[in-house]
Amino acid sequence: MDGEEDTTGEAALLKRHRNEKKELQAKIQSMKNSVPKNDKKRRKQLTEDIAKLESEMDEKHKRELEELAASQRAQTQTESVLNGIISLDLENTEPVQQPRVTKAQKRREKKAALEKERDERIAEAEIENLSGARHLESEKLTSLLADRQLQIKQIPSDGHCMYRAIEHQLKEQDNVLTLSNLRSQTADYMRNHADEFLPFLTNSATGEMYTQEEFEKYCTEIESTPAWGGQLELRALSHILQTPIEVIQAESSPIYIGEEYSSKPITLVYMRHAYGLGEHYNSVEQLKVASLESS
């Protein structure tokens, strides 16, 4: 039924994995807070202990995902055999008229199929990235941010991540602009300054620059759908907010947009390998470290 939470299969397993990772990160943070930075011997041991905990969890999650995949393959094979037996029993049975499939049912089936495909892609990405590009990217970003006394503020991966990250930064500055405000103002600004943005938008099928109709559709999607944002939208938001926007990334130097403005920049984190399903933006917050005052 629509709206019901999937409590079985990949979705439930991945949800549990996410919760376990959050719990582990909280535990690691607590461990870090308990060891003074100037105690080099204990900090070295702490680093080894943390690496061991993360490795054990990664191996556990990888093993569970592989076991689930094997179980699902076995179930599929069993169902195929049973269906073959049933087909033999029904060879001489009068054909039964199949009930008419409604449009609503077709939509539900299509939605379920898309969600299953997405869950499978996430599961594959989880296995591939346990010790791969995602882990390395995360470690690099954590180090870069720590040098600035910052840490990642996780933002949901729902298509709104860039706007939600900016919304979080603005709240820290007591600015009341919401996700909806940011999207609608971005679309309006781009419409009113089409000459600045049209040259960078091309039709993927023809390679030609967007027509005015295609550009209007693009702007409509910005304000009314969870369409992902990128550098064009960040440029528009920088002008709207009259604020520079800095995008920190692991694999190259930070991108700085809106250098003409002198106010405190908004800082975002660009994740290339966060989910294996496309780009993702997170926000930042002050690094939470326990006091290092000597007792």
- The active-site residue, picked from 147, 158, 174, 195, is 158
CATH of domain 152-286: 3.90.70.80
pLDDT digits (tens, 9 = 90+) for 121-139: 766 666 555 556 777 888 8
Higher pLDDT, 35 or 86: 35
* pLDDT value at residue 92: 55
Under the banding of pLDDT at 50, 70 and 90, the label for residue 283 is: very high
pLDDT digits (tens, 9 = 90+) for 58-80: 888 888 888 877 777 777 776 66
The size of the chain, in residues, is: 295
Examine the residue annotation and report whether 49 is marked as an active-site residue of this protein.
Answer: no
Averaged pLDDT score across all residues of the chain: 81
**Shortest CA distance to 179 belongs to which of 195, 161, 205, 156?**
161
Task: Give me 270's structure tokens.
Answer: 């660009």
Share of the chain above pLDDT 90, in %: 39
- The active-site residue, picked from 161, 219, 239, 273, is 161
Longest dimension (CA), the chain: 87
Q: What is the pTM of this model?
A: 0.55
pLDDT digits (tens, 9 = 90+) for 212-225: 999 999 999 999 99
Examine the residue annotation and report whether 280 is marked as an active-site residue of this protein.
Answer: yes
Q: Which H or E run includes 267?
A: strand 266-271
Higher pLDDT, 176 or 42: 176
Under the banding of pLDDT at 50, 70 and 90, the label for residue 4 is: very low
Higher pLDDT, 205 or 120: 205
Q: Lay out the sheet containing 245-249: strands in order across.
A: 150-153, 280-286, 266-271, 245-249, 255-257
Domain segments of the chain as ranges: 9-89+104-131, 152-286
Q: How far apart are CA 116 and CA 1, in angstroms?
A: 15
Examine the residue annotation and report whether 158 is marked as an active-site residue of this protein.
Answer: yes
Under the banding of pLDDT at 50, 70 and 90, the label for residue 293 is: very low
pLDDT digits (tens, 9 = 90+) for 151-172: 999 999 888 999 999 999 999 8
